[in-house]
Amino acid sequence: MRRTSKERLTEKLACFGRFGADERGGITRLSLSPAALEACGEFRRRCECLGLAVRCDDMGNIYAVKRGTEDLPGPAMGSHADSVVNGGNYDGMLGVLAALEVLETMVLDGISTRRPVSAVIWTNEEGVRFPPAMMSSGVLTGKFDKAAVLDVRDADGVSFGEALSAAGRQGDKAARLGPESCTAYLELHIEQGPVLYESGESIGVVQGVVGMCNYTVSVFGRAGHAGSTPMPRRRDALYAAAGIIRRLHDDLGSIAGGPLFTFGHIECRPNMHTIIPEEVSFSLDARHRDPDVVRRVVEVITSLPKESDGCRVEYREEWARRSTLFDPALTALVKRNADALGYAGRFMFSGPGHDAQYVQDMLPAAMIFVPSIGGLSHCPDEKTSLDDCRNGTDVLLNTVLELADT
């Protein structure tokens, strides 16, 4: 079994952790921002120094290719370089650097393969600056319309297409990852949860990504002066929304199978301490691998009353995704290599979404999870031990080498 270099991987994580480092101790590296462009530029520089061919497709995705001995399609691996606001340096970036370390190991150790091996940086996976998430892989796999995506604008009114052009990342459509150029896709990622860390296992072999739904619930009341409107005459949208959230929490919590659900975003208008709230909107994110459980979640939401505490209640679906199952043969290969390397692992599902779930719709895909210390992610305390980073990269290397010589 082949091994990667812990020392080289440590250096990569330290170097790339400087791109987007913010004053709060985290990483803010939004898609196509100066920090993200610096990170991608450093990736390109290192790949070119290794003698790899580097190209960019029309959605800004970057590919570094180590050629094989034959002109054939081959395996690809990768992840994303963008982050959330004040996030960590492991979400996405570890997968990119693991892929780079695999290619560097192959070059420095003189490993040749029958098929080419590629590393990919997906553009705008997080969807923080330009929603939705997994935008570019979504266009490649037909989930999103390219023209609509290019017109999506950030908070400053800059469109995704304009940002691509300004960055010089409007590449060649022919460079896109697809069945013509790729036989399989592997993505190494931190778990972003506590399962592996608490069990003491090094490797998660991801069998799929759970389905989910996302709704906005809006409550409409009537504004009034906080100092003069009698309590019995109030139509307080915030009070009504609080009751609805409690009702949803209880009803969703009683669903057999235990969906995960979150009320993560709330807006209150006019949001003044002297005015009774007249409109409150909140988000509801619910996830489960069983589509029947997700369906029951939707039934709970759509059975909400049209009026509560004198306020009108409305809801709308923002987006949804079905559960995705990764290629069984590929996940079995990942598990076999983890076992051969002596790394304790388990089969598991991912709650967060990843580009790999879209790629699975056009070619075989699989994911490798490594533990998140304390289960933390999307925050400055996000961290994975260097041993676990290297262990996961070892599994990635040996799996890719087997795929590249078939």
pTM for the predicted model, two decimal places: 0.89
Dist CA 27 CA 306 (whole Å): 42
The DSSP code for 372 is P
- Tell me whether residue 122 is exposed, middle or buried, using C-beta atoms within 10 angstroms of its C-beta: 0 to 12, 13 to 18, 19 or more: buried
Answer whether residue 319 shows pLDDT above 90.
no
Dist CA 389 CA 6 (whole Å): 8
Confidence grade of residue 406 (pLDDT, cut at 50, 70, 90): confident
Place of tokens 């779930």: 357
Reported in sequence order, the residue ranges of 229-335 that DSSP labels E, i.e. its strands, are: 260-262, 266-269, 279-288, 307-308, 311-321, 324-325
* Cα 63 from chain centre: 18
The token duo for 134 is: 């997994």
Widest distance between CA atoms in the chain: 82
Is the distance from CB of 32 to CB of 95 less than 8 angstroms? no
Q: What mean pLDDT comes out for the span 28-39?
A: 98
The 10s digit of each residue's pLDDT in 253-301 is 999 989 999 999 999 999 999 999 999 999 999 999 999 999 999 999 9
* Cα 363 from chain centre: 19
- CB-CB neighbours of 174 under 10 Å: 11
Confidence grade of residue 36 (pLDDT, cut at 50, 70, 90): very high
Place of tokens 């895909």: 365
Q: Please report the domains of the chain, with CATH numbers, ordered by start residue.
A: 6-210+323-404 (3.40.630.10), 211-321 (3.30.70.360)
Confidence grade of residue 127 (pLDDT, cut at 50, 70, 90): very high
The 10s digit of each residue's pLDDT in 179-198 is 999 999 999 999 999 999 99
Answer whether residue 321 shows pLDDT above 90.
no
The 10s digit of each residue's pLDDT in 330-377 is 999 999 999 999 999 999 999 999 999 999 999 999 999 999 999 999
Residue 59: predicted pLDDT: 98
Q: What mean pLDDT comes out for the span 24-33?
A: 96
Confidence grade of residue 15 (pLDDT, cut at 50, 70, 90): very high
The 10s digit of each residue's pLDDT in 71-106 is 999 999 999 999 999 999 999 999 999 999 999 999
Beta bridge partners of 77: 119, 186
The DSSP code for 347 is E
